[in-house]
Structure 1
Amino acid sequence: MLLDPTAAGLFPIAPTPFTPDGRIDDASVDTLIARYLEAGATGITVLGIMGEAPKLEPEESLAITARFIAGFGKLPVIVGVSAPGLAAMRWLARAAMDKGAAGVMIAPPPSLRTDDQITGYYRQAIEAIGADIPFVIQDYPLTLTVQMTPKVIRQIVEENPSCVMLKHEDWPGLEKISALRAFQREGSMRPISILTGNGGLFLDFEMERGADGAMTGYAFPEMLADVVRLSKAGRREEAHDLFDAHLPLLRYEQQQGVGLAVRKYVLMKRGFIASDAQRKPGSALTPAARAEVDYLLARLAARDARARLAA
């Protein structure tokens, strides 16, 4: 199944589970797959920034990709293939597609500054991996420091027919979603899927601005799936009520430097993974931080029973 512009729903960004000694935990990968499917995932993204992809050897990256593809069956698996060099990007992209991936995600390198540099990079990247591979633009200026205007995104989409999706995680970025959807309505940009990141921090209004769903890794994927579903059904108050209940934990998880540690800790407490270990170099929560997360989970349990599993 190849990725196309109709993709929607929840595509969790999968963390890479490790044992405390730094080995990949295959059993936890299988548990993650099962729990994401139970949560309502309509696809998944592996080897993203929060998946600790740079810490993996090429063979490990491909093995994890293959395991998720097998576990998700007919549902689409997107593989992050961003790399400093185009040769490495091409190898992983082609190898992942040979394993059955639905498409790949490409982030711009932090060195890009001008619009011409950004659009030129994507032309070169697609020439390297092949125009037959559907790809996702990752727009994450807070981490990557590359600023893409709506017009630049439109140019990338129009110049590269294999572009089928934008992973939108600009901040603030609601107006960018509106601008892109306006381009589509006026006919100056063909339709693409827009899935949003930022840990789900703005998902409530992103859906109302025209997003098709979420591609992020918050430790309660069920909430993300529910907000997407309720928003699409026009049940605005229910969507916002559920989102608001989770907002304190969402905010806490978005702290720079410890966000992945928080996410893995909660996923471990919920039984998604066996250990919250990160492969070195990595961060870890202090006892005080763990106590704060536990407090937030206990408060959340009063409004969402699914948090009682972690209390």
Structure 2
Amino acid sequence: MRLDETARGVFPIAPTPFTAEGAIDWTSVDRMVDVYAAAGATGLTVLGVMGEAPKLDAGESAALAARFIRRAGALPVVVGVSAPGFAAMRALALSAMEAGAAGVMIAPPNSLRTDDSIVAYYRQAVEAIGADVPFVLQDFPLTFTVVMTPGVIRRIVEENPSCVMLKHEDWPGLDKISALRRWSDAGAMRRISILCGNGGLFLDFEGERGADGAMTGYAFPDMLVDVVRMTAAGERDAAHDLFDAHLPLLRYEQQPGIGLAVRKYVMARRGIIAGDHQRKPGGTLDATAKAEVEFLLRRLARVDRRAALPLA
């Protein structure tokens, strides 16, 4: 169950379901895991950026990770452990691994500004959680404001054998994938798994550039699975056709501030979770936005019947 460099496929970023009162909706957690497994996910990622992790206390984070891991069974679970300090990171990482996590994910703090400081941070993070804990390097400059060049990523990978995966979320970032794969193909860098985020916005070409799949959220994780599978099988036109049909909704879901509200609304409409509630503070959809999402779903249903939902 330990994560390694051979990981591929789709590791959906799981949102945290809440009740209207702000409590964790444990029943929806279980249902969501079952849906991801049935959709063909090869793993799960919890307590990520879109999992509302900062809104949970330490006890809730550990309990939620354990619940996902227990329900997922043989499906590997990656737990986000990013924290302002290494003490909190270490505590959650050890708790998650003891519960059966496959590995952890670490994002850089937004205070890092030089290549050397980025490399040093990950060296210290590995010292904190233990060199035996597999970790995912999260590269998401649009959110974390930390820019990692391919060279910096190579330094982190070569210095830390426990780094087995890159969660690639740079934008634009296709050339970065190509550069990393050229190095690994030439033996100039240890090969690691590359799964991509950014809400899946560039999934249509990421696999063609050498990515191994997706680690992102979307209200139709089954579409992500299909696109990754078809790309790997060389079914390029079919993969692009399906992706293009979903792109308007995918784009709508990427709006800053309300993107998670859109995702949870559609997931609730699909019956994956009981409600679209976020723990405060959180964005909400007004009647106009909901009507626009319903319009996009109706248009998508002309091509993909999975979007044909009962009237709201």
What is the aligned partner in structure 2 of residue 15 from structure 1? Answer: 15
Q: CA deviation at 1:237?
A: 0.3
Q: Which residues of 2 match residues 1-311 of structure 1 at below 5 A? A: 1-309=1-309
Size of the aligned set, in residue pairs, is 311
CA distance in 1, matches of 2:68, 2:104: 14
With the length of structure 1 as denominator, give the TM-score of the two structures: 0.99
Q: CA deviation at 1:309?
A: 2.5
Q: Summarize the Cα distance change of 1:132–1:310 in structure 2 as closer, same or farther, 3 Å threshold.
A: farther
In the TM superposition, what whole-angstrom CA distance separates every residue of 1:265-311 from its partner, at most 9, and x where no partner exists?
00000001111010011110111100000000000000000001365
Q: CA deviation at 1:188?
A: 1.3
CA distance in 1, matches of 2:300, 2:106: 35
Kindly report the root-mean-square deviation, in angstroms, between the aligned alpha carbons of the 2 structures. 0.7
In the TM superposition, what whole-angstrom CA distance separates every residue of 1:71-116 from its partner, at most 9, and x where no partner exists?
1111210000000000000000011000000000000000101000
Does structure 2 conserve the Cα–Cα contact (< 8 Å) formed by 1:266 and 1:310?
A: no
Does structure 2 conserve the Cα–Cα contact (< 8 Å) formed by 1:201 and 1:247?
A: yes
In the TM superposition, what whole-angstrom CA distance separates every residue of 1:8-58 from its partner, at most 9, and x where no partner exists?
001000000000110000000011011111111100000000000000011
1:226 alignment partner, SS class: helix
TM superposition outliers: structure 1 runs of 4+ over 3 Å: none
Letter in 1 for 2:66: A
CA distance in 2, matches of 1:238, 1:301: 17
Does structure 2 conserve the Cα–Cα contact (< 8 Å) formed by 1:108 and 1:138?
A: yes
CA distance in 2, matches of 1:271, 1:109: 35
Q: CA deviation at 1:61?
A: 0.8
Unmatched 5+ stretches in structure 1: none
CA distance in 2, matches of 1:86, 1:292: 43
CA distance in 1, matches of 2:101, 2:185: 30
With the length of structure 2 as denominator, give the TM-score of the two structures: 0.99
Letter in 2 for 1:303: V
Does structure 2 conserve the Cα–Cα contact (< 8 Å) formed by 1:297 and 1:310?
A: no
Letter in 2 for 1:126: V
Q: CA deviation at 1:151?
A: 0.3
> What percent identity do the matched residue pairs reach?
72
CA distance in 2, matches of 1:293, 1:114: 41
Unmatched 5+ stretches in structure 2: none
2:309 alignment partner, SS class: helix
